[in-house]
Structure 1
């Protein structure tokens, strides 16, 4: 039976994504070049509310899809590094890509084309870099003391975000909370809606979802982002130049290679894998951020602006 509520949640998710800074590349750039951690903290708010929502869904329904953990190995670090490298070449992670498309920068559509090509190659069409992924068993979301502590930390961050909204009147955090709640509900009940899973189903010829729910949800996501930008007078359609198109294609391809080595992409890591209290999700996401930060520092050091005068 199709779950049409996912379409409404996807629209709200896209709308909220255009109201807050949720791009990992932009947040890391703000940290590296301006010394400000507020956007990175915003990402922890998203993950925290997603974790709380997954926990509540488990307790309420008992039938929520939780991510399985995997062992840490070289493939994971390689994949996370490739996601970071691809994101900085693309000038946005996949969450940021949705935001850019929402503002009318349609060359970022090529990021998803590059992703699809990478998944096609990694699926046995000429690129066989990765071995099978071994998943670790799990029972409940808070099955170990470490996960109980992590859930408690997420709860504390969620309380801080509520304080920022109610006392400090920082309304951007309403969008961040909305993103976490909507994303966790969608991923927790329909994990096949993730772009990697959707593209893989197309590439494998599996056809459309029941009631076309997943496909309509993706359309609703971008519709929400576009309408949100339009209401703020930020929707300015443009295709960009060929250089941007090539970087979008190449960046999407590299992020796709990374997503083939590590289950899911950066949005899945932030809004489902980490909130689902998997250790590999946290390690992969931190590795991706570290890769982006190092690349930015290297670029800053060797850029013409940073060179000493003759």
Structure 2
């Protein structure tokens, strides 16, 4: 890979972090919205991100862009177990992989320890479990011509709608918050640009690869991880959300332990929430959809139980 292509890839990954910061995409927050306000917007936006990436991959294949596709894995009980661990870890951590990017960008420095816990969880799981790859091909390469045309129309319509909303927002749309759905468009396009020059990439997948010893160039992967967090930092800074918080020992321990469970779960699936949404789910791999659905259900149950315990312990709650 030449320097220009790598620089373009870094820019695309940084833009992905910027858009994620502005749209506030986080699985834990999405489920909280459902519990507290019956608002499914963020959860739909996460699924929409996967669908837009899938549509983009269909178009890239139609114009002859060929890249090495990520591996498929079998959907097993380990997938379900991984989704449960991923969900519990995300609740303890206070954010999923997407949400952690946003928290670090806003200056919540305790979340810098989550990737460390994530790596340790992957390393621990790798000592007794190794997910088996399948010799499978994504259905995206077999779609008929009318699906390609539909993808062109849908992507063009979505870009047009959000472009018009940005124009109405005023002369400085980059300094404002975005809706989760607007963020998904930018995340999808950024991921596709990165896919063209770098291949499929998610920062949790890089950490999993590092634990498995299958990662290629460690320096390259660390640079990409730095780029996504830098993009999030710029997003928070330009919107006025950058408010550094001095980490406390309790919060550091929570992030490390939550990250450990997330890493163990992501290794078992395999894939963190970002890798599932941006890589596995767009490829229409059943294991990815099962893992993400199990994670969401686990987060829902954990938050629901937490709310009940909190109400019971409040002065107005029943004992």
TM-score normalised by structure 2 residue count: 0.82
Worse overlay, 172-181 or 188-197 = 188-197
Q: 1:254-276 CA deviation, whole Å, 9 max, x = no partner?
A: 00001110122110101111111
| Counterpart pick for 1:194 among 196, 199, 202 | 202
Partner of 2:140: 141
Matches within 5 A, 1:258-269: 258-269=265-276
Partner of 1:290: 297
Partner of 1:235: 242
Partner of 2:64: 61
Q: Is the 8 A contact 1:17 1:225 kept in 2?
A: yes
Partner of 2:183: 175
Partner of 2:94: 91
Q: Is the 8 A contact 2:86 2:272 kept in 1?
A: yes
> Number of paired residues?
302
Q: Which structure 2 segments of 5+ residues have no match?
A: 170-177
CA displacement at 1:244 relative to structure 2: 1.3
CA displacement at 1:157 relative to structure 2: 9.2
Q: Is the 8 A contact 1:188 1:272 kept in 2?
A: no
Q: 1:135-182 CA deviation, whole Å, 9 max, x = no partner?
A: 14116515379xx98x97998698568656647969533322001121
| Counterpart pick for 1:19 among 17, 22, 27 | 22
CA displacement at 1:290 relative to structure 2: 0.4
CA displacement at 1:204 relative to structure 2: 6.4
Worse overlay, 156-165 or 249-258 = 156-165
| Counterpart pick for 1:46 among 49, 66, 69 | 49
Q: Which structure 1 segments of 5+ residues have no match?
A: none
User: 1: CA distance between counterparts of 2:16 and 2:237?
Assistant: 16
User: 1: CA distance between counterparts of 2:250 and 2:33?
Assistant: 24
2:302 is equivalent to residue 299 of structure 1: no
Q: Is the 8 A contact 2:131 2:270 kept in 1?
A: no
User: 1: CA distance between counterparts of 2:50 and 2:153?
Assistant: 10
CA displacement at 1:183 relative to structure 2: 2.0
Partner of 1:112: 115
2:11 is equivalent to residue 8 of structure 1: yes
User: 1: CA distance between counterparts of 2:82 and 2:151?
Assistant: 27
Partner of 1:80: 83
Q: Report the RMSD for the aligned CA atoms in angstroms.
A: 3.1
Partner of 2:175: none
Q: Is the 8 A contact 1:58 1:64 kept in 2?
A: no
Q: Name the CA shift for 1:309/1:260 in 2 (closer, same or farther; >3 Å).
A: closer
User: 2: CA distance between counterparts of 1:27 and 1:203?
Assistant: 29
Q: Is the 8 A contact 2:70 2:200 kept in 1?
A: no
TM-score normalised by structure 1 residue count: 0.85
User: 1: CA distance between counterparts of 2:162 and 2:215?
Assistant: 45
User: 2: CA distance between counterparts of 1:305 and 1:132?
Assistant: 44
Q: Name the CA shift for 1:161/1:182 in 2 (closer, same or farther; >3 Å).
A: closer
